[in-house]
A and B are shown apart, each in its own frame.
Chain A
Amino acid sequence: MEILAIVADIHADRETALRTLLDRLKRTPRKLFKKFKTLHFASFVIFDAEALGRSPAKLVFDFTVDDGQAEAFVAECESNPTIQGIFGHCVDCQPLTGYLWRRKRRPQLYHIGTPYRTAASIRADRALRLRLERRLFASHRLTELLGQRPAGMLEYWNWEVLQPWVALFLGLIVVTVAPIFFVKLWRADYRRSLKAILGLLEAIVAAGGLVGARSLWLTAVPLLRDRVKAWIPWLAAGGAVAVLVKWFWLDHPWWSIGLATLFGILLAFGVYNAAGQRRNERLAEIRPADDTRAIVREWNRLLKVHGEGDEPPALWRRLWNFRWWAGSYAVVWGGLWLADLAGGRPLTVAVLSALFFAKAVWLQVLVGWPARGRWLGFSGKGAAFIAAVTLGATILFLALTTITLPRYGLAFIVLVAIFALWGVPLESPQGEPFELTRRKKAALADHEDHDVQNHMTACVVLKDSDRPIRSFLRLLVLRTFLAINNLIFFRAWLPDVCKGKLFMLPTVHAAQWLILDKRNYLFLSNYDLSWTTYLDDFGLALGQGILKIWGQGRNNPGVTDLAAFKDFARSTMVPWSLWYQAYPGLTVRQIWNNETIRRGVVSGAEEEAIARVIRRFGAAPTIPADLVAHARVN
């Protein structure tokens, strides 16, 4: 899917007429857009002089179309009489040919929840599902299900299962490696001060590891955690055996190798047996007692109805998306390598420390520092943060100049430190009070919740936009942040690894951040379920990330008080004038679910896989007790 916006200035005296026209069209958006087969979502929004802070008012036409279809779609729009009529209210719109395409604006950051999908295939998948459903639900099996009790949780091999293991091993590594390091450090021939610094660093890393392991453990699915618990004595015993082997047969590696091999064979045998047993249990679970072949029979009935849909692009094309990701790494690593070659170690660490420091300051600017007052009039907490970062950079510098580590080790430490810095919870900036009338809230709400899909249109005013130098700097920071995120994360990671799940929240069909001018930036989003849920999900799951973008907005109160943040977001919103959805009623989750059903039906499968596909007719799957389980797509 491709996402674009067309921004046009409205004639000063034709704004009212345009509103009247859009009001009339608003009731029947399908009539206007139905013939555009590649279109997913489209909307017209008028941002008036009041919202923008200056004349003229602007008409924003934002749309999402199939991959590679944007230009063709715009050309088709230009020849459509109704759309010609709409843009007829704009400045210099004659002739319309080429007018729209010239006024297109690419978003600085955009997200697509169903990458590589075409509108036609999404609709076809739903049609297929409905056809299959009719067959599936036509038979009388209600009473069979009534007395059924769940057999318990089926096995998953994904993050849920891995999480307690990862937590356990992370904890084990910290507990075993940290003391070894301390002992080595204690015996090492370093200066006392250096030992203290390194010891402190190590303690921080170890504490971080333990905290991380603990939180992973606590948020794991309890049932799966219990399974891991059962292994802890075995692991402890294995560890003890290993220590003993090392202790007594240090000079006789043949024995230890022999023991390890034996242990390995036993383990492999055990795993093989356990897997086989597990599989038999699973089959027993999906087969009703009276008819072992019911699932296969069900499947054969369904196979008579099937459809076709789009395939994800070839591997090379998906890999191509990672060019920015790879490129950015190449820049960092290459720079380090060159610095090391050119000037020896001190230059390397100087570069690293500078990088670390710059990142910290940048983060500060992103979340809105300085929140108010003069550039140097930062708050006590801001000063403490800067001081801590300076200290951290100095410690890093000292540690790296004295310790003997390969340069990749150094680079790794710095990268980890930079990522760790990203997670520092910074205080929300203090916002000035903003105006949000009851009437505005009502006007916005009236547009919402007519369907499971909703549309959000907001115009955020950049902080300090009335001060040229500061607004220039802030805009630069925002642009850089959005662009880096867009290229490195949203374009590479999200579509191909996360399959469109934005931080595991599959509720956004398409969203874009667009910097309109020096004062305003727009947020346009097509999302699922209610606005409150949408903002709650994101406010709770990635408050700091949100803060980095919304935090650039004037009067933003931060996300610490979610209710205040929601009011602020409401205050920036402008009701849309016309909105079209190509497949109303479908959530992102259902689109994925329908696709999986289609694939399952087309491919044919063995008994377990059949059971999984048929289960999807009951509900799109979800795994409870996960961090954001309610929104999970498998």
Chain B
Amino acid sequence: MPESIEHPLWEDMQGLILSAYPHLDRARYLLFTIENAAAARGWLARIQPHVTNAFKKQEPDGSLHRDRPNMNVNIALTAPGLAKMCGLTGNEPPDGLAQHLRGFSDAFVEGIHGREHRLRILGNVGNSAPEHWDWGGTKPGTRPAHLLLMVFADGDAAALQAAVDAVMPPFNAMTPVGTLPPTLPLDEAGGREHFGFADGLSQPILAGSHDAKRFPDSAHITALGEFVFGYANQDDQPASPSDDPCERLRDNGSYLVFCQFEQDVNGFWNCVDEAAAANGVANPHAAEQLASKIVGRLPDGTPLVPYANRNDNEFDYTEDPYGYGCPIGAHIRRSNPRDTTDPLHRNRHRILRRGRSYGPRASHPREAVGQERGLFFMCLNTDLERQFEFIQQNWTNNPGFSGLSDECDPLIGAESCPMGRGTFTIQGLPAPARLTTLPRFIRVRGAQYFFLPGIQALHALAKGECRANP
């Protein structure tokens, strides 16, 4: 049984929940189809010691000892993958799966591609529809994704390869689903995604974590139950009120949304350059400023609201109610409206982001590299519908967001938004201005809902027990 919020069982959670491992430069994500469940369980039992948990040792003087191994491993499973580990075939229809995976939400059981409505609200339509995905979708010839193996390592490519080799499953157990492109080492990425903007800046702070003690007044402190099963969530509702051992399998686990977004970096900058050039006065910074308006931050991460510097994450939009600084439809304002939503029920729709870029980094954003570039978007939450899907539907892809009309997120939503017209309004004085016919700058190449089990649950799965240990 998970303990109280004051004493979360960090050692039973996978480390990804607490950290994106910024000290490990390299990562490799591997997707597998489980062919032989028994062999897969054997492999899982064998690599258990490698799976990183979220526990941080405390020194006698009270300071935290950061145990920094040079290799971290985390494992997540899709609903069919979980079923397969529990002795089912994994090909059951969602109703059958739901019966066996009691306590797991419909969204997880059906999968991200499972329903037309879900695809619609997430914007996975057009050329981002699942029939075009390289993995996780319905493209003929793609294998179903069952298991996601995440290997993180410090050092060079050879060190990463060695780490991967150490935990690679045997071929009789699982076969790889395609090959995901290698991630961009963090030292090369320099904290920026491919469009050239600082990324991953605003994260919720887990209540009960060390950070929550360091920043007790932060507006970002969010109940642990929003990200980890078995704890009270932001509504004070325990996420796992059941004593059903099958439902208890969720304890200390989390849902992991894993998506591969291809970024059209050249398209983005061409579009911005053209718009800036077509709008009059020669301003050498116009393109960069326009791109910043789309994102809502300067490339270095400074938010476009008054009195906020680049390291400040406690800003809100009170000081910029009309969007004169950070446009109301800007990417950061849409994906986290902060105090614009009901302040009494703040942080009910947060996600923990753990993404990394992939593909080569150009020396300059406008430079073509001739290879696919993008982002492995990863986020953790315990209620897919209230958190990840809510953000996508009600904020990012909502044409009427915060008083706007007929427009979606200019960076990741435009055009795909079923009702939007690819427009983006920039509020300002004396009158607002508008960009029209923006194309969509990202394309979904693969996506799926995974479950990141707790350590005990992984043990149980390795033994073939689809239930929590008593």
Instruction: State A294–B428 Cα separation when bound (angstroms).
Output: 12
Which chain B residues border A618 with CB–CB below 8 Å? 322-323, 328, 425-428, 432
Give the distance to chain B from A456, nearest Cβ to Cβ, in Å.
15
Let me know if A446 and B116 touch, CB within 8 A. yes
Question: A142: nearest residue on chain B (CB-CB)?
Answer: B279
CB 8 Å contact bits of B254-283 with A (1 = contact, 0 = none): 000000000000000000000110111101
Residues of A near B431 (CB, < 8 A) are 136, 141, 295, 298, 614, 617
A563 touches B322 (CB 8 A): no
CA distance A561 to B386 in the complex (A): 13
Given contacts A143-B281, A622-B321, A629-B340, contact A288 B400 (CB under 8 A): no
We find that the number of chain A residues with CB closer than 8 angstroms to chain B is 75
**Could you tell me the distance between the alpha carbons of A528 and B385 in the complex, rounded to whole angstroms?**
18
Within the complex, what minimum Cβ distance (angstroms) separates B240 from chain A? 13
Name the CB-closest residue of A to B121.
A449
Q: Is A256 close to B, CB under 8 A? A: no
A116–B106 Cα distance when bound, in Å, is 42
- A137 CB–B CB distance under 8 Å: yes
For window 397-427 of A, CB contacts with B under 8 Å fall at none
Asked whether, in the complex, the Cβ of A532 is within 8 Å of the Cβ of B385, the reply is yes
The A-contacting residues of B in range 274-302, CB under 8 angstroms, are: 275-276, 278-281, 283, 285-286, 289-290, 293
Chain A residues, Cβ within 8 Å of B434: 133, 137
Chain A residues contacting B283 (CB-CB under 8 Å) are 143, 146
Residues of B within 8 A of A297 (CB): 430
- Interface contact B399-A585, CB-CB below 8 Å: yes
Cβ of B293: which chain A residues have Cβ within 8 Å of it? Answer: 145-146
B340 adjacent to A630 (CB under 8 Å): yes
Q: By the criterion CB–CB under 8 Å, are B419 and A451 in contact?
A: yes
- Tell whether B237 is near chain A: CB-to-CB under 8 Å: yes
Partner of A153, one of B280, B321, B323, B430: B321
Task: Give Cα A153 to B306, complex, Å.
Answer: 11
Cα of A445 to Cα of B109 in the assembled complex, Å: 16
Q: Give the CA-CA distance A387 to B281 in the complex, in Å.
A: 76
| A530-553 CB contacts (< 8 Å) to partner B | 530, 532-533, 536, 540-541
Q: Are B432 and A286 in contact (CB under 8 A)?
A: no
Contacts of A236 in B (CB 8 A): none
B342 on the A face (CB < 8 A): yes
Q: Please, how many angstroms separate the alpha-carbon atoms of A587 and B400 in the complex? A: 7
How far apart sit A60 and B342, CA to CA, in the bound complex (Å)? Answer: 36
- Is A31 engaged at the interface, CB distance under 8 Å to the other chain? no
Chain B contacts for A315, CB-based, 8 A? none
Within 8 Å CB of A295, what residues of B?
A: 429-431
The answer to whether B305 touches A150, judged by C-beta atoms less than 8 angstroms apart, is yes
A288-B239 Cα distance, complex, nearest whole Å: 52
Q: Pick the contact of B322: A133, A143, A528, A621 (CB < 8 A).
A: A621
Q: Which of chain B's residues 114-129 have a Cβ closer than 8 Å to chain A? A: 115-118, 120-121
Binds B, one of A91-99, A186-194, A435-443: A435-443
**Minimum C-beta distance from A634 to chain B (A):** 10
Q: Which of A151, A530, A540, A617 contacts B342 (CB 8 A)?
A: A540
A614 to B431 alpha-carbon distance, docked (Å):
6
Partner of A621 from the list B276, B316, B403 (CB cut-off 8 Å) is B403
Chain A residues whose CB sits within 8 angstroms of the CB of B116 once the complex forms: 446
Given contacts A438-B94, A439-B95, is CB(A286)–CB(B286) below 8 Å?
Answer: no
**Does B318 contact A625, Cβ atoms closer than 8 Å?**
yes
Knowing A141-B431, A286-B430, A624-B339, the reply to whether A449 touches B405 (Cβ < 8 A) is no
Q: Report the Cα distance A628→B337, complex, angstroms.
A: 13
Identify the closest chain B residue to A297 (Cβ).
B430
Q: Is the CB–CB distance between B120 and A449 below 8 Å?
A: yes
Q: Is the CB of A149 within 8 A of B402?
A: no
Q: Is B211 an interface residue (CB 8 A)?
A: no
Q: Verify A619–B425 contact, CB threshold 8 A.
A: yes
- Residues of A near B98 (CB, < 8 A) are 438
- Residues of A578-634 at the interface with B, using a CB-CB cut-off of 8 Å, are 585, 587, 589-590, 593, 611, 614-615, 617-630
Q: Is the pair A589, B403 in contact by a Cβ cutoff of 8 Å?
A: yes
- Give a binary string over B421-446; 1 marks a CB under 8 Å from any A CB, 0 the rest: 00001111111111100000000000
Whether A619 and B318, one on each chain, are in contact in the complex, defined by CB atoms closer than 8 angstroms, is: no
Q: Are B430 and A628 in contact (CB under 8 A)?
A: no
Question: Cβ of A145 and Cβ of B428 under 8 Å apart?
Answer: yes
CB of B335 within 8 A of chain A? no
Asked if A253 is at the interface of the complex by the 8 Å CB criterion, the answer is: no
Instruction: Report B319-338 CB contacts with A as 1/0, cut-off 8 Å.
Output: 11111110011000000010
B62 interface contact, C-beta 8 A: no
Taking residues whose C-beta sits less than 8 angstroms from the other chain, chain B's interface range is 35 or more
In angstroms, Cα B94 to Cα A219, docked, is: 44
> Which of B117, B286, B306, B435 makes the CB contact (< 8 A) with A449?
B117
- The answer to whether A136 touches B117, judged by C-beta atoms less than 8 angstroms apart, is no
Residue B343 at the A interface, CB < 8 A? Answer: yes
Q: Does A17 contact B (CB under 8 A)?
A: no
Tell me how far the C-beta of A595 lies from the nearest C-beta in chain B, rounded to whole angstroms: 14
Chain B residues numbered 411-470 whose CB sits less than 8 Å from any CB in chain A? 418-419, 425-435
Q: Please, what's the 1-or-0 string for A47-66, where 1 marks a CB less than 8 Å from any CB in chain B?
A: 00000000000000000000
Q: Is the Cβ of A153 less than 8 Å from the Cβ of B318?
A: yes
Q: Which residues of chain A are within 8 angstroms of B383 by Cβ–Cβ distance?
A: 563
B344 located at the interface, meaning its Cβ lies under 8 Å from any Cβ of chain A in the complex: yes
* A223 interface hit (Cβ, 8 Å): yes
With A529-B398, A561-B237 already in contact, the answer to whether A137 and B430 are too (CB < 8 A) is no
- Is the CB–CB distance between B117 and A442 below 8 Å? yes
Partner of B426, one of A142, A222, A291, A590: A142
Residues of B within 8 A of A280 (CB): none
Nearest CB on B from A469, distance (A): 36
Asked if residues A530 and B394 are in contact (CB atoms below 8 Å), the reply is yes
Give chain B nearest CB distance to A555 CB in angstroms: 18
Q: Is A148 in the interface zone, CB < 8 Å from B?
A: yes
Write out the residue numbers on chain A whose beta carbons fall within 8 Å of the beta carbon of B223: none
Contacts of B320 in A (CB 8 A): 150
Kindly state whether residue A450 has any CB partner on chain B within 8 Å.
Answer: yes
Residues 62-99 of B at the A interface (beta carbon under 8 Å): 94-95, 98
- Residues in B with CB closer than 8 Å to A174 are none
Write out, one digit per residue, whether chain A residues 512-542 have a CB within 8 A of any chain B CB (1) or not (0): 0000000000000000111011001000110
Residues of chain A contacted by B11 (CB below 8 angstroms): none
Asked if A365 is at the interface of the complex by the 8 Å CB criterion, the answer is: no
Judged by a CB distance under 8 angstroms, whether B235 is at the interface is yes
Give every chain B residue within 8 A of A144 (Cβ-Cβ). Answer: 428, 433
Which of A145, A441, A589, A621: most chain B CB closer than 10 A?
A145
Please state if A627 and B342 are interface contacts (CB–CB under 8 Å).
Answer: yes
CB–CB B400/A528 < 8 A: yes
Closest to B320 in A: A150
Within 8 A of B (CB), among A138-162: 140-154
In the complex, the answer to whether B117 meets A452 with C-beta atoms within 8 Å is no
Note all chain B residues with C-beta closer than 8 A to A149.
Answer: 304, 306, 324-325
Which chain A residue shows the least CB distance to B343?
A: A625
B residues in contact with A147, CB < 8 Å? 285, 289
In the complex, chain A residues whose CB is within 8 Å of the CB of B106: 438, 441
Tell me if A619 and B276 are in contact (CB < 8 A): no
| Complex contact B117–A143 (CB within 8 A) | no
Given A446-B117, A585-B399, A624-B321: A145 and B426 interface contact (C-beta under 8 Å): yes
- Listed by A's residue number, 26 A-B pairs whose Cβ atoms lie within 8 Å are A140-B278, A141-B431, A144-B428, A145-B428, A145-B433, A146-B286, A146-B290, A149-B304, A153-B319, A154-B321, A154-B322, A223-B319, A288-B429, A291-B430, A295-B429, A295-B430, A295-B431, A441-B106, A448-B117, A529-B400, A533-B390, A540-B344, A587-B400, A620-B404, A622-B321, A622-B340
Q: Which 4 A-B pairs have the closest CB atoms?
A: A620-B403, A145-B428, A618-B432, A618-B427
Given contacts A146-B293, A294-B429, A438-B110, 9 further A-B contacts (CB under 8 A): A150-B305, A219-B343, A286-B430, A295-B429, A442-B117, A585-B419, A619-B427, A622-B403, A624-B339
Chain A residues packing against B (C-beta within 8 Å): 133, 136-137, 140-154, 219, 221-223, 285-288, 291, 294-295, 297-298, 438-439, 441-442, 445-446, 448-452, 528-530, 532-533, 536, 540-541, 561-563, 585, 587, 589-590, 593, 611, 614-615, 617-630
